[in-house]
């Protein structure tokens, strides 16, 4: 089978990969050559005996900054021209959404740049037109864990990875709604019962119940998604 999607991770900790990406559905897809992963060690492009990749920040302040010449050398060694999508995982980036993940899954290659310390020199981000993407309003020690999360989200959308297209269609965020509650056996667990509607065998009523539960959860927990959902409904009416 020809590889559908490839990813390069630029990091100072290549030994962290594949990590969680090497197990379960995504790991099996990696073994089956549905996608490929290469972790590039930024230290291989350092030009001193200590393999230094960072330096102090101009203007002062705590921490170190990854040098633009090191990152540029690594990118130049792997790309003749800028790839379609080159991402820097950063808390100041645009929020990662399922819609954006779907866009990435439709591409054949993705380059991910993992920051460390106080970040990356702005000049190399500008020179390579690197997109900045954030998993949320919190800080990680580096971009590696964020890169794993992003790739897991992307790879599971590739054909042949998840298996059941219906599962993808009913997941959270598909229609700007959170997913409805799920239940399995036993029917009675410590006095907690499965909702009777799910045992009825009436598929249309079950579908309506699930839709109502999704709407309720979204309205209560994610006002931003609820507003988008309502706006999309209004557009369809218009």
List pLDDT tens digits, range 68-116. 999 999 999 999 888 889 999 999 999 999 999 999 999 999 999 999 9
Residue 195 lies in a domain: yes
Q: Which of 105, 115, 65, 70 is nearest to 84 (CA)?
A: 105
Taking CA atoms, 167 is separated from 26, 76, 163, in Å, by: 16, 40, 8
Whether 204 shows a pLDDT value over 80: the answer reads yes
- Same domain, residue pair 23 and 137: yes
Q: Give residue 221's domain range.
A: 171-237
- Same domain, residue pair 126 and 185: no
Residue 160 lies in a domain: no
- Same domain, residue pair 75 and 150: yes
- Helices (H), ranges, the chain: 24-31, 68-78, 98-105, 122-127, 144-155, 165-169, 203-221, 223-237
Last-in-domain residue among 155, 185, 214: 155
Whether 172 shows a pLDDT value over 90: the answer reads no
Beta bridge partners, 39, equal 9
Last-in-domain residue among 155, 186, 217: 155
Residue 163 lies in a domain: no
């Amino acid at each position: 089978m020809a590889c559908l999607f490839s990813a390069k991770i630029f990091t100072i900790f290549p030994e962290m990969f594949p990590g969680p990406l090497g197990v379960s559905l995504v790991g099996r897809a990696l073994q089956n050559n549905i996608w490929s992963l290469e972790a590039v060690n930024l230290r291989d492009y350092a030009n001193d005996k200590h393999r230094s990749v960072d330096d102090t920040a101009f203007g002062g302040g705590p921490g170190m900054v990854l040098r633009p010449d090191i990152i540029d050398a690594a990118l130049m060694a792997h790309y003749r021209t800028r790839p379609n999508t080159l991402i820097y995982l950063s808390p100041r980036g645009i929020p990662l959404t399922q819609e954006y993940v779907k866009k990435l899954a439709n591409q054949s290659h993705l380059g991910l740049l993992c920051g460390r310390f106080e970040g990356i020199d702005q000049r190399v981000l500008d020179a390579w037109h690197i997109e900045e993407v954030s998993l949320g309003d919190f800080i990680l020690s580096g971009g590696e864990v964020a890169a794993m999360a992003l790739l897991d989200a992307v790879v599971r959308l590739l054909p042949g990875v998840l298996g059941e297209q219906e599962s993808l269609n009913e997941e959270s965020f598909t229609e700007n709604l959170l997913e409805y509650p799920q239940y399995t056996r036993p029917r009675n667990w410590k006095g907690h019962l499965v909702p009777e509607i799910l045992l009825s065998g009436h598929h249309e009523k079950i579908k309506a119940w699930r839709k109502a539960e999704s709407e309720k959860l979204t309205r209560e927990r994610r006002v931003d998604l609820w507003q988008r959902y309502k706006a999309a409904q209004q557009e369809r009416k218009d």
